[in-house]
Amino acid sequence: MAKIIVVTSGKGGVGKTTTSASFASGLALRGHKTVVIDFDVGLRNLDLIMGCERRVVYDLINVVNKEASLNQALIKDKHCDNLYILPASQTRDKDALTEEGVEGVLKELADMGYEYIVCDSPAGIEKGALMALHFADEAIVVTNPEVSSVRDSDRILGILASKSRRAMENREPVREHLLITRYSPARVDKGEMLSVDDVKEILRIPLIGVIPESQAVLQASNAGSPAIHLKGSDVAEAYSDVVARFLGEERPMRFVEAPKVGLLKRLFGG
Amino acid sequence: MTISAPAPAFDIKSASLDLLALVLRSTDPAQLEPALQSRFSHLSANGQSEAFVLGLEALPSLEGVDLGSLLPLMGRHGIKVVALRHPDPAQAALASRYGLGFTTGGGRSSGPIQETAAATPVAPAQEPATSLIIDRPVRAGQQIYAKGGDLVILAVVSAGAEVIADGNIHVYGPLRGRALAGARGNTSARIFTQAMEAELVSVAGVYRTIEQALPDSIRHKPTQIYLENERLVMKALHE
């Protein structure tokens, strides 16, 4: 049965789309048939980060309105065989999403044999975000180590616990995972950022990974290639760990300590 | 020249009224008629009537319940049924068929519980105080209100969350949001928490925002908050 995962945060600009792209790619690289859906209707970005913006013909809203079939709208990823992208519409707004429509699309995707359906949520707590999380089985809550982002994530966790389909039907609650992105251990040591433990203490949900702050993310986005494909970079390693943990493997938490600066380097500069 | 707006035709105000509930144990007119006669003769004799909620929750089944004949029967004894009560929301249709209001809750008398209670010789005392128990975190933006009783929370109350009770509030986790006990004026209500980090606390409308750091004796520690001479006291537990 298909598993629906929402990538959400409340706050904008924390790395939801970057995470959706890399996480979905990571699942596909491990051989799982995966689709990633952009729910940010009107401000679509996922296709840019996945590097398929010029191949978008039909989108999620066309499928919801039955103006196009799913097969017409799905775009095959250029990096992985098992990954498809369902882009958002650039010209419509989020009111075009209906609960029945989204449910129909998700059900059809499940019937097509997708194992994982990754929903990239827009920021905020309005319609688009509610639609993205409504049918979720699991949630990756993306948080930056600063207070307003953590507060917004707390708010989204409350909405997951009250407005998701699972909550409304009194089923087992949505499984929540905390993902801390743009983490800079050096700045934590200087007291400029909340630490991993601070964030965990406030949100109190299991940590699935820590993605270090990195220039590589920006370069990857601009190049239209998810960061997980940047072989050898710490970001790619961190996202691979997240995917592995999601699939049930044990991995030690990396990139949470500031690199030790050697004595010579400290004396003579790096 | 001033144009005064016409007075509004109505105002909407919040109201919370006490009603008696008549909990049916039988719908057999032969059984009901004499029982109503003996209990409500004072009403019917004077041509008066009183409003009641008709509780159907104690009946084993609603099949064959004929409200069309029951309601006039009660009416003859001065019982004016204004609403039905049944735990199954689907029964709202039944209520609307007879132009009645409908509620699922408001009481705690149900069949199976009654039987165990009957086995003990304790007199059925007044309604037990209802407590609301929450076993999941209360997150920013959420509000929980325990009407008419205590609120017990077994997890964290996040900053930006609000927990309110007419009685006491117990938080078996950190209290980081707002807590308002004794919301309807109970000045003896208290707030208890495992770790005091609240933004605002209030008892019976006497509130305090907590902007400055709390004293070390209670900060992040088990604390109780109560009213003493109309002042809020925050005191470490286990002192």
B172-184 pLDDT, tens per residue? 999 999 999 999 9
- Element of type H or E holding A105: helix A99-111
Task: Evaluate whether B95 touches B9 at the Cβ level (below 8 Å).
Answer: no
On whether the CB atoms of residues B84 and B94 are closer than 8 A, the answer is yes
Q: Give the start-to-end residue ranges of the domains of chain A.
A: 3-268
Rounded Cα gap, residues A241 and A161, in angstroms: 27
- State residue A266's pLDDT score: 66
Percent of chain A, pLDDT > 70?
96
Q: Could you name the CATH architecture of A3-268?
A: 3-Layer(aba) Sandwich (3.40)
Question: Which token pair is B61?
Answer: 């089944």
> Is the pLDDT assigned to residue B114 strictly greater than 60?
no
Query: Helix/strand/coil (H, E, C) string of A167-180?
Result: HHCCCCCCEEEEEE
> What would the pLDDT profile of B188-202 be if each residue is shown by its tens digit?
999 999 999 999 999
Of A154, A159, A162, the CB nearest to B158: A154
Q: How far is A149 from chain B (nearest CA, A)?
A: 12
The answer to whether the CB atoms of B141 and A155 lie below 8 A apart is: yes
What rounded mean pLDDT belongs to chain B?
A: 82
Question: Which neighbouring-strand residues pair with A78?
Answer: none
Task: Quote the percentage of chain A above a pLDDT of 90.
Answer: 90
Please answer whether residues A16 and A123 qualify as being in contact, where contact means their C-beta atoms are separated by less than 8 angstroms.
yes
Q: What residues of chain A lie within 8 A of the CB of B156, using their CB? A: 204
**Are B139 and A157 within 8 A, CB to CB?**
yes
Q: What is the pLDDT of residues B7-43, one digit of tens each?
A: 778 877 666 666 778 888 888 888 888 888 877 777 6
Per-residue pLDDT reduced to its tens digit, A27-81: 999 999 999 999 999 888 999 999 999 999 999 999 999 999 999 999 999 999 9
- Does the pLDDT at position B4 exceed 80? no
Residue-wise pLDDT for A114-172, tens only, equals 999 999 999 999 999 999 999 999 999 999 999 999 999 999 999 999 999 999 999 99
For chain B, state the CA radius of gyration.
24
ipTM: 0.81
Give the chain A residue whose CA is nearest to the CA of B140: A155
Flag whether residue B194 sits within 8 Å of chain A, measured between CB atoms.
no
Q: Among the listed ranges B3-12, B62-71, B146-155, B222-231, which one has the minimum average pLDDT value?
A: B3-12
Q: Cα distance from A67 to chain B (closest Cα, Å)?
A: 38
Contact B196, B223 (CB under 8 A): yes
Residue in B177, B214, B146, B153 with CA at minimum distance from that of residue A154? B177
Q: Which helix (H) or strand (E) holds B99?
A: none
pLDDT tens digits, residue range A83-103? 999 999 888 888 889 999 999
Residues of B in contact with A161 (CB under 8 A): 136-137, 139
Average pLDDT over residues A175-181: 98
What angle do helix axes A215-223 and A234-246 make, rounded to 10 degrees? Answer: 80
pLDDT tens profile B60-92: 777 777 888 888 888 888 888 888 888 887 788
With CB atoms and an 8 Å threshold, state whether B140 touches A202.
no
Give the per-residue pLDDT at B16.
65
Helix residue ranges, H only, B54-153:
67-76, 92-97, 111-119
Taking an 8 Å cut-off on Cβ atoms, the answer to whether A161 and B137 are in contact is yes
